[in-house]
Structure 1
């Protein structure tokens, strides 16, 4: 089982794709491809338009079906990344599961907690630690653990880093990131420009 290709699935329930999510998904698709893994967006509304940039990547697939339907007979293969799970993700989980599922809490009002819906459907869960991560960070950390065999607590993190745009402008990010070799948070290409351009908007609006 360990040799099976890993698939990272993000449930995307929004009818549209915000600029923030698009950059995150591009980063996930590129990194998955480089790691020999697949990336899937599931539960897409029928009207959803997948950007050409994502469509062009062989590692990427788009699905209107939800994960319950995709893996109806294979639930045991699927690991739900769930903050309320009883145990943390470990390198051994890479031998046990080959599908890793990220359920979003998206812009619905009131919010639909997709993770708790999926938990009730019987998908086994694992935690990624106590600090909220961006979607691409959650997938990156999962891949480092299950494909890179790095224990969760050995990954270098940066919590709530401050991004300095110039000597007068900076913004603090409310998330945990993987720390890059340059000591800076690993972020999708183009993300810092997007945040700087939109620093007058709330971060919530960028999703």
Structure 2
């Protein structure tokens, strides 16, 4: 199975890169990042060990370079099942940081642009992070039904960063395993740092030269 992440953010932030890195950690060499227009962004994502395309997945599907795609879209009417994954050659995840409430960007920017009849499925009633979607996809691909997974809405945590303590609340759903949220390495630190620096203007890694 090919996992396609359609990059839809204006830049690659540390938070976004953290999520992208987790997708590669879960699926290894079977990951393709698409719609990566910036040369520097392509270099960053290739550094994760994945394939990277400047073209959108929509273009690749139309050219036949990606076949039998399935979109993970929160607006899809049906939930993802193991048979859906088995019947698809590629599963598309929207490379979107997410907004609260969700604005349907995956639907507008991917699903609507693909050929009529392209399959789409949701991962439950709540919006997940990119990393969360990757974890759930892996479990479903292994034959686990969504209803068997422990997925909880919202995450609140406090973390010490030097002389500062950040309290962060995230309006997304997170998969849990063994009573703990499944998160990428250093996720809490990256998110907390983003919260502390937000008003100063958070840097885009693909705008940093060198």
TM-score tier, shorter chain, comes to: 0.7 to 0.9
- Kindly report the root-mean-square deviation, in angstroms, between the aligned alpha carbons of the 2 structures: 2.9
1-structure distance, mates of 2:97, 2:172:
16
TM-score by length of 1: 0.78
Whether 2:172 is the aligned partner of 1:175: answer yes
Q: Is the 8 A contact 1:10 1:42 kept in 2?
A: yes
Could you tell me how far 1:49 is from its partner in structure 2? 2.6
Aligned equivalents of 2:109, 2:136: Cα separation in 1: 23
Say if 1:158 and 1:113 are closer, same or farther in 2 by CA, change over 3 A: closer
Aligned mates of 2:124, 2:187 — CA distance in 1? 24
Partner of 1:47 in structure 2? 39
Q: Secondary structure at the match of 2:195?
A: coil
Structure 1 residue 189: Cα displacement = 0.9
1:103 aligns with 2:99: no
5+ unaligned residues in a row in structure 1: which ranges? Answer: 1-5
The number of residue pairs the alignment matches comes to 191
Matched ranges for 1:39-78 at <5 A = 39-52=31-44, 54-58=45-49, 60-72=50-62, 73=64, 77-78=68-69
TM-score by length of 2: 0.77
For 1:18 and 1:128, the matched residues in 2 are separated by 25
> Structure 2, unaligned stretches of length 5 or more?
205-210
More helix per residue: 2
Q: Name which of 147, 156, 172 aligns with 1:153.
A: 147
Aligned match for 2:30, one of 25, 38, 56: 38
**Once the 2 structures are TM-superposed, how far is the Cα of residue 170 of structure 1 from its aligned partner?**
3.1
